[in-house]
Structure 1
Amino acid sequence: MKLRIECPPCLVNRAYVESEKASMDPEVRLRALLEAVRQIGYNIRPDVTPAYLGTIRDRAIKQASDNPDPFKEDKAASNEAALRLMPIAQGYVQNGADESERLRRACLVSIVGNAFEFGIRGYEFSYDDLPRLIENAEKDIAIDDITKFELICEKVEHALLLTDNAGEIIFDKILVGQLKRMGLRVAVAVKAAPISNDATMEDALVANMAEAADRVITTGTDSVGLLIEECSKDFLNTYTEAGLVIAKGMAHYETLSESRMAQPHIFLFRVKCTAIGSDLGVPLGKNVAYLVEPEPLEGQGASS
């Protein structure tokens, strides 16, 4: 998704929120904010993705504030909240009538986990909302490709899950476990270093993701979303070999929707900004399970 008119003010608002989190010193906060705004202004063009600018913004704030992880406290609180709610989330999934229903519910719980977010203009989040969001997950779904997703799961051997936020990764573990029960081999990728409130290997350890997944790896970089040109060779090999990619969060939609996808990608997230909502025709606060299948290469038609 390319930059939309709603994006620049949101990017700057997030820079303000993050700069305040990065330091208690007003001078450092202002220096970080001004550097982030300067970098956004220098790099902004109509043909870039919001996530690309978000990456530049967050790196500028980390460097200017000398704080490698401005959202450290928020991430810890998110993980604690998710762990407290795991019995509710697991019960919701396990009460599904059959394996198909349990996969569906695991997807919905994973999407609800994407509510863990801070600093998005016009979006408010409270940990107290999570039980209600789980209860309403089914009726809140606006794009529902979960049945198509299940059919693909039955055909492929390897899946890759691209995580988004801390806290959310703990709910993702339920989905990974369900995929494993279907016989898939599942790799899970986290960010190589802190960026925004995205999950890193530290959060994967809190979630005990290695208990569910076959492999837990990093993307090799700290980008918002997935900037392919920055990723490690190990990650790219895993990404290329996967028969199915599960991409969590809006930033993965922003970045990957602009690239040619060689395998099916399902985007699982909660719509938290008007730009994404407008792009997909989905209201704010709704759940999305959007499957994108690869287009035939030029000169190749669909098989008969």
Structure 2
Amino acid sequence: MKIKLYCPSCLINRAFVESQKASDDPEIRLKSLLDSFKAISCNTNTNVTPAYLGTIRDRTIKETSKNPDPFHEEKIISNQRAIELLPLAKNYVQKAETPSDKFRKACLISIVGNAFEFGIKDYHFDYNDLPKWIEEVEKDIGIDHISKIEKLANKADRILFLTDNAGEIAFDKILVEQLKNMGASITVAVKAHPISNDATLEDAKIVNMTNIADKVTTTGTDTVGLILEECSKEFLNEYDKTDLVIAKGMAHYETITEYKVTKPHALLFRVKCLSISKDLKIDLGKNIAYLIEP
């Protein structure tokens, strides 16, 4: 998805939020913010994705502020709160009466986890809302390709799972475990370095994903979403040999939809911004299970 009318204001709002978290020094905060404005402006045109500009913004703020992980505290809290809610999420999945229903519920729980997000314009996240969202997850489905995804997962020998946020990755464990039970080998890929509140190897270890997946690797880079041109050879090898890609979060929708895919990609996320809402013609707050096939 290329940049839309509403993207610049959201990119700038996120820059403000992130620059405040990057430093306690007002001068460094301001310089980080202004440097990110310049970086966004110099790289903006109608052919780029919001995720590409978000990558440039976040790298600029990290460099100017000398803070490699502005959302570090938020990620710690997100992981803690998600782990506390795991029994509730697992209980929802365990109510399933058939294997197909169990897969469906695991997908929906993973999507609910995508609510762990900070700094998006006009989007407010409150941990206290999560129990309600778990309870109402079925009602909030906007695009539902779960049955198609299940058929592909059942046939797949290898599945590559691209994570999104810290906290969310704890909910993803439920789906990864279900995928393993279906017979596939699961490789989970996190970011190589902190970017926004995205999960890294540290987060994967904290939530015990490293003991669930067959392999946990990194993309080799710190991009927002998937920018294949920046990924490591090791990751690209995993990507090339997988049968099915499952990608979490809006940034993966923004970036993957710009590629001509050669294998199925299942995109699981919650609609949290106007640009994606209008691109999909789906209301804000809806849960999405969107399958892209070659």
Q: TM-score scaled by structure 1? A: 0.96
Q: Which residue of 2 aligns with 1:103?
A: 103
- Is 1:211 aligned with 2:218? no
Q: Secondary structure of 1:291's match?
A: strand
TM alignment of 1:69-148, pairs within 5 A: 69-148=69-148
Q: Which residue of 2 aligns with 1:247?
A: 247
Write out per-residue CA displacement over residues 6-49 of structure 1, whole angstroms, 9 at most, x where no aligned residue: 00010000000000000111000000000000000000000000
Structure 2 distance, partners of 1:165, 1:11, is: 18
1:95 to partner: Cα distance: 1.1
Write out per-residue CA displacement over residues 187-240 of structure 1, whole angstroms, 9 at most, x where no aligned residue: 000000000000000000011112211100000000000110100000000011
Q: Which residue of 2 aligns with 1:51?
A: 51
Q: Which residue of 1 aligns with 2:287?
A: 287
Write out per-residue CA displacement over residues 75-131 of structure 1, whole angstroms, 9 at most, x where no aligned residue: 001000100000000110111111111110000000000000000000000000000
Letter in 2 for 1:108: L
1:153 to partner: Cα distance: 1.1
Write out per-residue CA displacement over residues 121-171 of structure 1, whole angstroms, 9 at most, x where no aligned residue: 000000000000100100100100000011111211100000000000000
Structure 1 distance, partners of 2:16, 2:73, is: 17
Structure 1 distance, partners of 2:127, 2:239, is: 32
Q: Which residue of 2 aligns with 1:227?
A: 227
Structure 2 distance, partners of 1:91, 1:99, is: 15
TM alignment of 1:26-65, pairs within 5 A: 26-65=26-65
Q: Secondary structure of 1:246's match?
A: strand
Structure 2 distance, partners of 1:24, 1:45, is: 33
Write out per-residue CA displacement over residues 245-302 of structure 1, whole angstroms, 9 at most, x where no aligned residue: 00100000100100011110010000000100111111000000000111xxxxxxxx
TM alignment of 1:3-18, pairs within 5 A: 3-18=3-18
- Is 1:265 aligned with 2:265? yes
Q: TM-score scaled by structure 2? A: 0.99
Structure 2 distance, partners of 1:272, 1:281, is: 13
Q: Secondary structure of 2:195's match?
A: coil
Runs of 4+ in 1 over 6 A off after TM superposition: none
1:50 to partner: Cα distance: 0.1
TM alignment of 1:15-26, pairs within 5 A: 15-26=15-26
Letter in 2 for 1:206: I
Structure 1 distance, partners of 2:129, 2:241, is: 38
Contiguous gaps of at least 5 residues in structure 1: 295-304
Q: Which residue of 1 aligns with 2:158?
A: 158
Letter in 1 for 2:265: H
Structure 1 distance, partners of 2:240, 2:121, is: 35
Q: Which residue of 2 aligns with 1:302?
A: none
Structure 2 distance, partners of 1:281, 1:207, is: 34
Letter in 1 for 2:224: V
Letter in 1 for 2:62: K
Letter in 2 for 1:83: I
Q: Secondary structure of 1:154's match?
A: helix
Percent identity between matched residues is 61
Q: CA RMSD in A?
A: 0.5
Structure 1 distance, partners of 2:10, 2:273, is: 9
Structure 2 distance, partners of 1:212, 1:260, is: 31
Letter in 2 for 1:53: L
